[in-house]
Amino acid sequence: MNRRYILFDLDGTLTDPKVGITRSVQHALHTYGIEEPDPDRLTPFIGPPLVDSFAKYYGFPKEQGLEAIERYREYFSVKGLFENEVYPGVPEMLADLKARGKVLLVATSKAEKFARQILEHFDLAQYFDYICGATMDVTIRSAKADVIAYALEQAGVTDKAQAVMVGDRLHDVEGARACGLDCVGVLFGYGSREELEEAGAAAIAETVGDLHTMLKGDDPMPESMTIFFPCKDLEETIRYYTEVVGLTVHSRQEAGSVWFDTGAGYLAFCDYGPGRAMATGECISFNLPSREAVDARYALLRQTPGVLGLDKPPAHHPRFPVYSFFFRDPNGYLLEFQKVN
């Protein structure tokens, strides 16, 4: 699933907000003389617009539901929003997708103000190009389809085939489909497989790792775009290009060669042996879609142990319309990560 624009739900997709949301609902219900000591009975509130949940589970008419949201926010705005946990693997997934040039968005039914505070608190805001949520006045924008449409408009998305939604509940799937998008459902949140499949999810990810694999993109590239290089140590080359550069092994041959999918063609290495001349010093270029993607890749590589890096940060070439930086691989090849202007 190779899409440029990836829209993420927040609650139950990037973070587990159970403690904060259920305590906020308990606070709101208490003001109406309703006591619900079991937080597990309140997990259905995670995800959908609050006004809908108060109506569905406690029979609140719309005006009372809007008032209940204000009581909910009395607790949530002070304590509840940070009674929350980031799912393991999410920061690494976001960093990698960003480095690959994906445009990342948040599309949540949570008030945009609170969504931004949560993402900044957990140091996730840095990965997102757009953070889109409900208005504080939920009568203006709170339905998932409206939030998704708003996010697409903010990002200037015109080709919806290049975008995908990710979420854990049926309203994420239904909202995406209403806007003409596919939706990947996740099972590490609060929705079931049955719920997501019945709503029409295009794919299901059981874990964050599964989701990461789906979103990286694995569309096949024509073999005519393969570039071959000899290498000194095939296993070390495989380790470097998967763990450090972030490529995916497309195939491996018994003859001693490996093909990597670069996202713009194949890169192949073969064992260095008698009669094979090492082309040390040659440059392997990776085209990235934006200057921001170049900067993100540089920051990621600079933080990776064992990288044979150069100290020069990304810069424009004095003669050519290229913004790039260089690192060396274990074979001595220069790796150039570039954005051609």
For residue 9, give the nearest of 189, 167, 205 by alpha carbon.
167
Catalytic residue among 9, 16, 172, 295: 9
DSSP string, 185-250: EESSSS--HHHHHHHT-SEEESSHHHHHHHHH------GGG-EEEEES-HHHHHHIIIIIS--EEE
For residue 100, give the nearest of 247, 259, 207 by alpha carbon.
247
- Identify whether the C-beta of residue 57 lies closer than 8 Å to the C-beta of residue 82: no
9 is catalytic: yes
For residue 197, give the nearest of 213, 185, 208, 211 by alpha carbon.
185
For residue 104, give the nearest of 164, 17, 169 by alpha carbon.
164
Amino acid at 213: T
Token pair for residue 237?
């080359």
Helix (H) or strand (E) holding 335: strand 334-340
Please give the positions annotated as active site: 9
